Amino acid sequence: MVQALVAGGTGTAGRQVVKEFLARGHSVRVLTRHGGAPGTEIAHFHGDLVTGDGLAEALDGVDVVVDTTDGKTKGTRAVLEKGSENLLATADGAGVRRAVLLSIVNVDLAEFAYYQSKRTQERVYDSAAIETVIVRATQFHDFIPMIAKPASRVGLIPAFSKTSFQTIDTRDVATALVDAALATDAPEGPITIGGPEVRTARDLTTAWKKATGTHGFVVNVPLPGALGQFLRNGSNLVPDNRFGTITFDRWLAESVH
C-alpha cells in the first residue's frame, strides 16, 4: 500500500484524485490551508505552501505526492511558484519517491499571465531533486457552465466564437494522475491527455442550456487578447491524445439529475 499526499485535495480535481487512490486501496492524506475533516478515513493536514508551515509533518512517511493546486488570480500565483518550491524541497527531505503535477495542455505556447505561472510551476518540477511527472490536461467539463451560468441570469448565454474545446472529466484526470504516481518508471517529458470529443463552444453551451433547462439566448462572443488567440488557434486541443472516456453529455446528465 502506498501513502499518498494530495496537495489541493479539496479542489475540483483533487477530490477525485483522493477518491481514486482510495479506490485502489491506498492510504491518502490531503494538504489543506483550512484544517481537516475529523472522523473521515482521509487524514487532513494543515499546511501553507507559500510559507512552508506544516509541510514537514504532512510529508512525513509519504511515498508519492500529487499536486493539483491552482492559482488563477494574481494574489494566489505564489502558490504555483514559491509553493511548489517549498513542497518539492520538503518532499525531497522527507524521502518522497515521486511528485506528480497537474498542468494544462500546451501551457508552454501561451502568453497570458495564468498560463505563464503554470509554466513556471512546471519548470520548478522539471528542476526538482526528486523524480517528477507532469500531466497536462485539457479544460474540465465544468469550464463551460463556469462561463455560461453567470451571464445566463440576464438571458444571454455566451459561447466563445470560432473556438472548440476537448473537455475532460475530472475522474479521468484523476485516473491519469494516479497512474503516473504509481507507475514503475516515470516517463520522459509531460503526459498529455484530452477528453473523448472535440466540440465547438456553441455546441457545448447549447447542450448545457438544454440539459439544465436554462432560459436565454446562446450568443457568439469573441474572446480578445492572448487567451482568445490561443483558443482560436486550437492550442487547447490534443485530438491525438484522447484519454478521457466520460463525455460532456454523460457528465451533464450525472450533474443535473
Mean pLDDT, all residues of the chain: 94
Say whether pLDDT at 87 is over 50. yes
Q: Which three cell numbers stand for residue 251?
A: 457528465
What is residue 22's predicted lDDT score, i.e. its pLDDT?
A: 97
Give the three-class secondary structure for 231.
Answer: helix
User: In the predicted model, is pLDDT for residue 34 greater than 80?
Assistant: no
The proportion of the chain whose per-residue pLDDT surpasses 90, expressed as a percent, equals: 85
Of 11-15, 111-115, 132-136, 240-244, minimum mean pLDDT range? 111-115
Give the pLDDT band of residue 36 (cuts 50, 70, 90). Answer: low
pLDDT single digits (tens) 157-172? 999 999 999 999 999 9
For 1-56, the DSSP string reads --EEEEETTTSHHHHHHHHHHHHTT-EEEEEESS---TTSSSEEEE--TTT-TTHH
Could you tell me how many helices (H) and strands (E) the chain has, helices first? 10, 11
Can you tell me the distance from the alpha carbon of 152 to that of 216, in angstroms, rounded to the nearest whole number?
6
Are the C-beta atoms of 83 and 49 separated by less than 8 Å?
yes
H or E stretch at 111: none
CB distance 101 to 132 below 8 Å: yes
- Whether 38 has a pLDDT exceeding 50, the answer reads no
Cβ-based neighbour number of residue 109 at 10 Å: 12
pLDDT(73) > 80: no
Does residue 40 carry a pLDDT above 70? no
- Report pLDDT for 41: 66
Domains in the chain: ranges and CATH:
3-256 (3.40.50.720)
Work out the average pLDDT over 175-180: 98
Residue 187 pLDDT level (bands cut at 50, 70, 90): confident
Evaluate if residue 43 carries a pLDDT over 80.
Answer: yes
Whole-number percent of the chain with pLDDT over 70: 96
- The residue-averaged pLDDT of 24-48 equals 81
Higher pLDDT, residue 151 or 16: 16
**pLDDT tier at 112, thresholds 50, 70, 90:** confident
Q: What is the mean pLDDT of residues 237-256?
A: 96
The helix or strand, by DSSP H or E, that contains position 99, with its residue range, turns out to be strand 98-104
* 136 grid coordinates: 497536462
